[in-house]
A and B are shown apart, each in its own frame.
Chain A
Amino acid sequence: MSQTGPLTDDGLVQLLTPTGERTPHPELDARVAHLDADALRAMYRDMVLVRRFDTEATSLQRQGELALFAQSLGQEAAQIGSAHAMTARDHVFPSYREHGVAHARGVDMADVLRLFRGVDHGGWDPVAHGFHLYTLVIGSHTLHATGYAMGLQRDGLVGTGDAERDSAVVVYFGDGATAQGDVNEALVFAAVNNAPVVFFCQNNQWAISEPTTKQARVPLADRGPGFGVPSVRVDGNDVLATYAVTQWALERARSGGGPTFVEAFTYRMGAHTTSDDPTRYRSSAEEEYWRRRDPIDRLRLHLEQVGELPAEFVAQVADDADRLGERIRTEVRAMGRPSPASMFDHVYATPHSVVDAERAWFERYEASFDAGSTSEGSHR
């Protein structure tokens, strides 16, 4: 693997060129051979929907409906490709911008916004979707993922040879996260336990204002082997390649082959979050360069070239995206403020006298305002 600058993408596994031509790959071709036009169109649809979700959520934030939002703009291929390679039995640990993966795991996109609206710390059932809650503390969840994978091993769900049983874990994190101690410890634990976990690093090249060179002096994928974890560097804007590589890594994990480190080299086309101003630290030329390697355009061009993108389908997807946008707008605006006393719910799984006493005090205190009906404009 060569040491590459941020504007080049040599040394990456690629199955589709930026202009949509299919490039042959000796090992991975077999892994995508079963993907028919319907499967590719499903990926295209998911990417378009997620992008609409990003656009809608960003404007909701601008209108004051969300406190904050972190777009996945530009990272659709990394997320949708990898998510399509999973089975329902696999378990995902996301960080906080894996909206595409959430969508592919059947999480309602409106629920994803509960966290960003400030009405919920989670928003979906992590067990039902095999998709853990978002983790805001950088890197913590790579250890949770590894532990979960160690649990799968103990439960006899790894390497059984039964495709209906074998399971694995995928954990998503950014390039900045690779500097955290937790991530390095997770790699150590995964390696020595041969845990069935895929470390999926979306190298979107920026950790807020810091370029990847502030986190590492080698391509991030080069870290894996030092821990005894094989690694792959894949073109993160190529949905076929991210699919193939993840499928390969997952199969290794499920069959007892152990962990893999995947570096999906991509680009964060938007700001870090809606409170960030990327013009302070990166050039519009760089943004323009990446706009021309858009992951959705790439698959669209490919489908057009092979004559598998009928106009009706494109129109239908655009229509679906519009409806998703509308639904999200309506549902987010309707998300009510939780009852204040709900802050005392679920602090513990069993009764706790301090919480109970504080809740009782709080409710009496609230009621005293209702009695005097002077709570309007009060600053409790």
Chain B
Amino acid sequence: MSTSTQTRPTDPAGGGTSGTQRLTFAKAINLGLRRALESDPKVLLMGEDIGRLGGVFRVTDGLQKDFGEDRVVDTPLAESGIVGTAIGLALRGYRPVCEIQFDGFIFPAYDQITTQLSKMHYRSKGRLTLPVVIRVPYGGGIGAVEHHSESPEVLFAHTAGLRVVSPSSPVEAYRMIQQAVASPDPVLFFEPKGRYWEKGDVDLDAAPDGPLLDKARIVRPGTDVTLVAHGPTVQTALKAAETAAAEGTSIEVVDLRALSPLDTATVAESVRRTGRCVVVHEAPVLYGTGAEVAARITEECFYHLQSPVLRVGGFHAPYPVAKIEHDYLPGLDRVLDAVERALAF
């Protein structure tokens, strides 16, 4: 094994790795991973095509060149193998960050994630920890073929022992990936691939404000309706809030950030003020995040609610062909329609 680790290499593409920069979502994750690789020699990345190619979305671009093939590992084409060996590496003290190429290809690894990764800490009564991160580009709207646009996050949130998070902007992505790598628990890190090319300002040096993987945040304050979203639908919710504002409706947008743990407190606090709640996600509505949030909000805020908690999401059908995916995905109109229905009660 070679030890080709360099410390703090400068990024060839951008102006170094400090200060505030305007970055794409993908680049923000890239720099977050770079930071993680720099700060802990036990961190290693593994996945298909992540080395020389830099990943099919170029999220790991340049990292193999700077950190070497032992730390940025092109794996055989085998997802169960990727996660299974990551478990072994973690047992040996490493902190593997696995890339699954697309959402629909996580299922060959589903067994390893749900039966092994999630339960090892519990079974060993805390003697073993598995600090494994699994990065999954997910979600639709990019005109892809089948198995490239799905939102399987809830399947993992349903399994105890896994943390499930999804960033919604470049700055969140940059900070959350570093906290995910630092977490002693396994983290499923769902990256909204439809947002990879969106840009935002990222202060590369600012310390993250608190434990991002546990806390929802209010992205935009409002008084009439609480819109709850995560990952790709946060931007949709913000657009809805803007549009509604022009018509005199004040929408508060809450970004869940994490599905497990679910920060019900932040949502409930918001709903107690607004009295109305609409949950938006791309995954199918049946048994989805919206169902969980609605149930909890009903339990906690029943006397504050002026309308039932409504849900907007995908349908109980396989993700459709690209030409009609925008009819499947919850877009601006469907969100505003639900907001109107909530207000009409």
Question: Interface of A with B (CB < 8 Å)?
Answer: 67-68, 115-121, 136-138, 176-177, 179-182, 207-210, 214-215, 275-276, 280-281, 337-340, 342-344, 347, 352, 354-355, 358, 362, 365, 369, 378-380
Once A181-B81, A379-B326 are accepted as A-B contacts, the answer to whether A118 and B74 lie under 8 Å apart by CB is no
Instruction: Please give me the 5 A-B residue pairs with the lowest Cβ-Cβ distance, nearest first.
Output: A118-B322, A179-B76, A209-B53, A340-B327, A379-B331
- Among B7-15, B101-109, B174-182, B269-277, the stretch in contact with A: B101-109
Bound complex: CA of A61 vs CA of B78, how far in Å? 29
Instruction: Enumerate B279-305 residues with CB–CB distance to A below 8 Å.
Output: 286
Residue of B nearest to A140 (CB): B108
Bound complex: CA of A182 vs CA of B329, how far in Å? 32
Bound complex: CA of A177 vs CA of B108, how far in Å? 12
B48 at the interface (CB under 8 A from A): yes
B77 and A354 contacting across the interface, CB-CB below 8 Å: no
B317 CB contacts on chain A under 8 angstroms: 343-344, 347, 355, 358
A354 and B326 contacting across the interface, CB-CB below 8 Å: no
With beta carbons under 8 angstroms apart, the residue of B52, B143, B337 that contacts A281 is: B52
Once A118-B143, A210-B48, A379-B332 are accepted as A-B contacts, the answer to whether A176 and B77 lie under 8 Å apart by CB is yes
A210 and B327 contacting across the interface, CB-CB below 8 Å: no
Residue of A nearest to B107 (CB): A137
Residue of A nearest to B324 (CB): A340
Bound complex: CA of A380 vs CA of B326, how far in Å? 6
B321 and A380 contacting across the interface, CB-CB below 8 Å: no
B74 and A116 contacting across the interface, CB-CB below 8 Å: no
B114 at the interface (CB under 8 A from A): no
With beta carbons under 8 angstroms apart, the residue of B56, B78, B146, B328 that contacts A136 is: B146
With beta carbons under 8 angstroms apart, the residue of B74, B81, B315, B324 that contacts A337 is: B324
B53 and A117 contacting across the interface, CB-CB below 8 Å: no
B77 and A177 contacting across the interface, CB-CB below 8 Å: yes
A210 and B108 contacting across the interface, CB-CB below 8 Å: no
Residue of A nearest to B142 (CB): A67
B334 and A380 contacting across the interface, CB-CB below 8 Å: yes
* CB<8 Å pairs between A and B, sample of 7: A136-B146, A210-B74, A343-B315, A344-B317, A369-B333, A380-B329, A380-B331
B16 at the interface (CB under 8 A from A): no
Contact indicator per residue, chain B 307-345, by CB within 8 Å of chain A (1) or not (0): 000000001111011111111110111100100000000
A358 and B81 contacting across the interface, CB-CB below 8 Å: no
Q: Smallest Cβ distance from B105 to chain A, in angstroms? A: 6
A280 CB contacts on chain B under 8 angstroms: 52-54
With beta carbons under 8 angstroms apart, the residue of A138, A215, A337, A358 that contacts B323 is: A337
Bound complex: CA of A176 vs CA of B49, how far in Å? 11
Bound complex: CA of A358 vs CA of B56, how far in Å? 35
B337 CB contacts on chain A under 8 angstroms: 365
A179 CB contacts on chain B under 8 angstroms: 76-78, 81
Bound complex: CA of A116 vs CA of B326, how far in Å? 17
With beta carbons under 8 angstroms apart, the residue of B108, B323, B334 that contacts A117 is: B323
- Apart from A176-B77, A179-B76, A215-B76, list 10 A-B contacts with CB within 8 A: A115-B145, A120-B321, A121-B146, A136-B147, A137-B108, A207-B48, A338-B324, A343-B320, A343-B327, A365-B337
Inter-chain contact count A-B, CB under 8 Å?
126
Q: Smallest Cβ distance from A361 to chain B, in angstroms? A: 9
Bound complex: CA of A179 vs CA of B80, how far in Å? 10
Bound complex: CA of A280 vs CA of B64, how far in Å? 13
B77 and A121 contacting across the interface, CB-CB below 8 Å: no
Q: Smallest Cβ distance from B79 to chain A, in angstroms? A: 8
Chain B interface, >50% SS class: loop
Bound complex: CA of A68 vs CA of B144, how far in Å? 7
A67 and B143 contacting across the interface, CB-CB below 8 Å: yes
Bound complex: CA of A179 vs CA of B81, how far in Å? 9
Q: Smallest Cβ distance from A30 to chain B, in angstroms? A: 38
A118 and B145 contacting across the interface, CB-CB below 8 Å: yes
A358 and B316 contacting across the interface, CB-CB below 8 Å: yes
A180 CB contacts on chain B under 8 angstroms: 77-78, 108
B56 CB contacts on chain A under 8 angstroms: 208, 275-276
A137 and B145 contacting across the interface, CB-CB below 8 Å: no
A137 and B105 contacting across the interface, CB-CB below 8 Å: yes
With beta carbons under 8 angstroms apart, the residue of B80, B145, B320 that contacts A68 is: B145
A344 CB contacts on chain B under 8 angstroms: 315, 317
Once A137-B147, A340-B324 are accepted as A-B contacts, the answer to whether A362 and B315 lie under 8 Å apart by CB is yes
Q: Smallest Cβ distance from B28 to chain A, in angstroms? A: 22
Bound complex: CA of A179 vs CA of B108, how far in Å? 12
Bound complex: CA of A254 vs CA of B78, how far in Å? 31
B286 and A214 contacting across the interface, CB-CB below 8 Å: no
Bound complex: CA of A119 vs CA of B145, how far in Å? 10
A210 and B323 contacting across the interface, CB-CB below 8 Å: no
Instruction: Enumerate B52-107 residues with CB–CB distance to A below 8 Å.
Output: 52-54, 56, 74-78, 80-81, 104-105, 107
A378 CB contacts on chain B under 8 angstroms: 331-333
Residue of A nearest to B76 (CB): A179
Q: Smallest Cβ distance from B66 to chain A, in angstroms? A: 16
A137 and B78 contacting across the interface, CB-CB below 8 Å: no
A208 CB contacts on chain B under 8 angstroms: 48-49, 53, 56
Point out which of A215, A338, A354, A380 has the most chain B C-beta atoms below 10 A from its C-beta. Answer: A380
Point out which of B78, B286, B318 has the most chain A C-beta atoms below 10 A from its C-beta. Answer: B78
Bound complex: CA of A275 vs CA of B56, how far in Å? 9
Residue of A nearest to B331 (CB): A379
Q: Smallest Cβ distance from A114 to chain B, in angstroms? A: 8
Q: Smallest Cβ distance from B99 to chain A, in angstroms? A: 13
Bound complex: CA of A179 vs CA of B78, how far in Å? 6
Residue of B nearest to A337 (CB): B323
B322 CB contacts on chain A under 8 angstroms: 67, 118
Q: Smallest Cβ distance from B291 to chain A, in angstroms? A: 13
B77 and A210 contacting across the interface, CB-CB below 8 Å: yes
Once A215-B76, A354-B316, A380-B327 are accepted as A-B contacts, the answer to whether A210 and B49 lie under 8 Å apart by CB is yes
With beta carbons under 8 angstroms apart, the residue of B74, B75, B80, B145 that contacts A67 is: B145
